[in-house]
Structure 1
C-alpha cells in the first residue's frame, strides 16, 4: 500500500520555518464514519521525513503535537531542525499529519467569527457570578452556530476514537506492520486511545506533557488552573531577578501581587487597546508554556502597569478569530464535546467557578467557566477506556511544573496504564519535555528508548 501513496511537496507553511530539513506530503483517505467504512470518505494530509539509513531503520514514528485542533504536519521537520537526535532520524521515518477536520486535511468549521465573542479554547476568567451567566449565553450561541453550520452532520465524527482509528489507517497505508508514536499534550490522550484500541500494531510509545486519560473532560480543564498556580512561581522568580528592567516586583511575592493588581484593575477598566482582565490572565497563562516567552510576558505586563496603558499587540491573535482559528476551535470543541459528557446546567459551572476562584485564584475562574459543550447538539459517542494490558510499553515524560497539564495528570495516566508504563518526571517548568525542554537526563532516556527499546526499570525523576 505504501507504493500507492503519491509523495509530493508539502504546502508552503509546513516547511517554510523548518529548513534545511523538509518533509514530503501525501493524502490518505479514511471513512468519515467508521461504522460505515464504505460510505463517505475524508482526506488526511500526511507528511514524512524518511530515514536515509535503511540498515538502521526500524519503522515509522508518528507525531501529534496536541490540541485537539492543532496542526501536526510540520512536526517532523520542526523537531528534526530543533535537534531531534540523528539516531532517531536514522531509526524512523518521521510521520506528521493534520488530524481529521484540521487544516490541510478535509477541514471542518463552525463558522466562528469575531462577533460571537468566543476566541480561545479556555473560557474567559469570570470576575463575578454574573460573568458566568453572561458567558453561558455566548457558549450557547457557539453551540447553536456549530449545529446550524454542520448541515452534513460531520462534526459528530470528530472524536478521539476516530482519530485513533485514522492513525491505524495511516500505518496501514504506509505498509507498516507496527507504528511508533510520540504525542504531546492532547497527543498523549490520542496516543492512549490508539494504544488501547490497537495494542497489536503499536511499537514504541512516548507521551509528553500529559492529559490524564483518553480525553479532555471538565476535571482536566479545571486542572489547567492548578498548573498555572504551580508554574507561575518560576516566572515570578525570573521577573523578580529582573525588577530593575521590568519593575514588576523585587520578590516573587511582589510579582504575584502585581498580577492581581493589574488583573483586577483591568476587570473594571480595560486598557486603551481593549485588553481586559480576562485577556490579561489568558496571556499570562499562555506565556507560561516556556521560559523562552518570559521576556515577552514581562513586556506585556510592563505595558499594562499604569491605568489606560496597553499596546495593540498585547491582545491574543485568537481574539481576531481569523479562519485558521475558527478551524482549530471547531475541532477542539467537537472532539472535546463528543468524547465525554459535560454538565448541562449553568448552576454547576457557577458553583465550580466560585470554588476555583478561591482554590486557584490566578486562573481557576477561567478554567471552571462554562464552555459550548454544555449546549452541544450531539451526545458523547464512544469514550475509550485506557487499557492496562498488552505488549506495548509506554514512556511518560512530564515536567513537575506545567501550566496546562500539571504533573498530577501524568501520575493519573501512569496508574491507568499500570506496569506497561514508566514515568520520567523532570524537575523543570514548561509545557514540553523531549527535545524542546532541554533536560539532558530526559533527552537521553527518551532517545535510548526510541532507538534501542531501553525503557527505565522504574519511574525516575530527572533533576533540572
Structure 2
C-alpha cells in the first residue's frame, strides 16, 4: 500500500546478509503518509497522528526460494525527536499473534511526548506477515460469519466431538480457500523473525533494538536464536514460555485468569455495592448464575445486536487483562444484572477486533493460522483425550471456562493443510547480549512464572512488576518505565531481584 513518498533512501544492506537476500536487505524504503495503510476504524484514527510516516517492506514469501513470490510488510514510524542524541530504531510488536505493530507504535507515539524513548529512538511498528496492513492478509471467515459464530450456543451433548471437529475442519477449509495454502505455510514466527532482520538492515541498523509484548516475546526469542549477534537490546514483556506445550500453556493461562478474577472480586466486594455480592468466596458462583441463562437466551446489547454466553465470557476475560479496566468490567456486569449487555458486548468487540462499523480485523484468523504452523498439530484422538483430561485436572473450576472448552476433539490445526515450521523448545542463543524480561505477578494471560522461565532460558535480566496486568512497560507503572528506558538507552540492566 504505497503512501505519498516523502523520503526514499537505501540505508542497507547493513550487517551480515544471508545468501540470496542482498536485494531485500538493501532495499530503499519509501516513507510517506499513513492514511492509505489504515485497515480498520481504530487504525484510521491512530494513523492520523502527528509526525507519523508509513512504508512497505518487501520480503520473500518463502525464504527457501528468495527469487520466488514476494509479499509486503506494513511499517509505521515516528522519528526520534532529538537528531543529535538519536540511538537508532526501536522495533515494536504488541503480540497476539495477530495484533498490529503499526497501531501499537502509533498508540505509543501518541502517549510518549514526555517519554525519553521518543527522543532517542525512532519508534517503528510493523504488521507481521499476513496481518493488518501487510499483504496478502490471512482471511478465514467473513464479518457476517464471525458475528454468527459469536451467537452460537456452547456445543454440548453426545455429538459434541463430531460437531466440534466439523466446525474445525470447515474453518481450516475456509482459511485455505480465502488465503491460500502457500501463504499459510509461511506465516509462522520462524519467518517473522527473518522479516525482522530484513527490516533491521533496511532501516540502516547494525544492531536491533526490540520491544516485544506477549506473543511478541516469542518473536523476540526466535530472532535472538536466529540472529543473536545482531541484537543490541531487547525488552520482552508478558513472556511466553518458549518450552511450554499445549497442556502447560492452557493450565498456566487458566490459572492466571482465575487468580486475576479472584483479585477483581476481592476489590469489588469491598465496595458499598458490588454486582457479585458482598462475599468474595461467593463471587464466582454469582457470576456463573448471571451468565448461565445466556447459553440459551442472549440479551440485548447495542442496537439490534445480542450478547451471547461466549461474548460475555470473552468480555470478562478482556476486563481482567488490566486492573485499569476493573471499574468498567464491574459496570458491565452490573448492567447485565438489569438485562443490558451493551457494555460487555463492547468489551467482547474489543477483544475480537470488531469495529463500530461492523468490520473485523483479522487478528483471530491470524491467531489460529500462526499457531497452526508454530506448534505441532495433534491428530491422534487418544492424545487429545489425554491432553483434555490433564487440562481438566489442572485448571480451576471457573466462570472463564465451560465444559464446552474441554471437549476432546481435534482442533483446526489437525486439519491444517501445511506442516508446522517450528515447535516449543529451549532456545539456544550463544553470543546473545544480556537482554531484559519483564513479568507481572498478576498477569492473567502470560503468568509470572513464564517470564521467570524465559529469563532463565535467555540468561536475561528479570524485572518483576507487582501488578495485576498483562504487560507493564510503557503503562502506568513509573518504576517499570524508568528501568526499561534506562536499559534501552544506556544498556543499564536492573540489579538481580529488582521489583517495581
Native 8 Å contact 1:124 1:282 kept in 2 = no
* Cα deviation, residue 353, structure 1: 4.4
Q: Secondary structure at the match of 2:182?
A: coil
**Cα-Cα RMSD:** 3.0
Other-structure match for 1:455? 493
Q: Secondary structure at the match of 1:153?
A: helix
Q: Secondary structure at the match of 2:30?
A: coil
Between the two proteins, the alignment pairs up a number of residues equal to 454
Native 8 Å contact 2:316 2:344 kept in 1 = no
Summarize the Cα distance change of 1:167–1:319 in structure 2 as closer, same or farther, 3 Å threshold.
closer
* Cα deviation, residue 160, structure 1: 0.1
* Cα deviation, residue 159, structure 1: 0.8
Is 1:208 matched up with 2:237?
Answer: yes
User: Which deviates further from its counterpart, 316-325 or 79-88?
Assistant: 316-325
Partner Cα separation in structure 2 for residue 19 and residue 150 of structure 1: 29
* Cα deviation, residue 57, structure 1: 1.4
Partner Cα separation in structure 2 for residue 275 and residue 441 of structure 1: 39
Is 1:70 matched up with 2:129?
Answer: no
* Cα deviation, residue 253, structure 1: 1.9
Partner Cα separation in structure 2 for residue 226 and residue 374 of structure 1: 26
Other-structure match for 1:264? 292
Native 8 Å contact 1:126 1:278 kept in 2 = no
Native 8 Å contact 1:272 1:310 kept in 2 = yes
- Residue of structure 1 aligned with 2:262, choices 217, 227, 233: 233
Summarize the Cα distance change of 1:21–1:237 in structure 2 as closer, same or farther, 3 Å threshold.
farther
Other-structure match for 2:420? 380
Other-structure match for 1:184? 213
Partner Cα separation in structure 2 for residue 118 and residue 446 of structure 1: 43
Partner Cα separation in structure 2 for residue 377 and residue 158 of structure 1: 13
Structure 1 stretches of 5 or more lacking a match? none
Is 1:10 matched up with 2:34?
Answer: yes
* Cα deviation, residue 59, structure 1: 1.3
Partner Cα separation in structure 1 for residue 147 and residue 165 of structure 2: 12
Summarize the Cα distance change of 1:310–1:349 in structure 2 as closer, same or farther, 3 Å threshold.
farther
Native 8 Å contact 2:266 2:280 kept in 1 = yes
TM-score (norm 1): 0.88
Q: Secondary structure at the match of 1:90?
A: helix
- What are the within-5 Å matches in structure 2 for residues 430-445 of structure 1? 430-436=469-475, 438-445=476-483
Native 8 Å contact 1:44 1:104 kept in 2 = yes
* Cα deviation, residue 19, structure 1: 6.9
Other-structure match for 1:342? 377
* Cα deviation, residue 224, structure 1: 2.0
* Cα deviation, residue 157, structure 1: 0.6
- Residue of structure 1 aligned with 2:318, choices 254, 271, 286: 286
Q: Deviations over 1:131-179 (max 9, x none)?
A: 4553332112101211233446211110101000000001111111111
Summarize the Cα distance change of 1:231–1:457 in structure 2 as closer, same or farther, 3 Å threshold.
same
* Cα deviation, residue 336, structure 1: 0.6
User: Which deviates further from its counterpart, 264-273 or 427-436?
Assistant: 264-273
Native 8 Å contact 2:228 2:429 kept in 1 = no
Partner Cα separation in structure 2 for residue 351 and residue 152 of structure 1: 30
Native 8 Å contact 1:62 1:95 kept in 2 = yes
Q: Secondary structure at the match of 1:155?
A: helix
**RCO greater where, 1 or 2, for CA within 8 Å and sep 6 or more?**
1
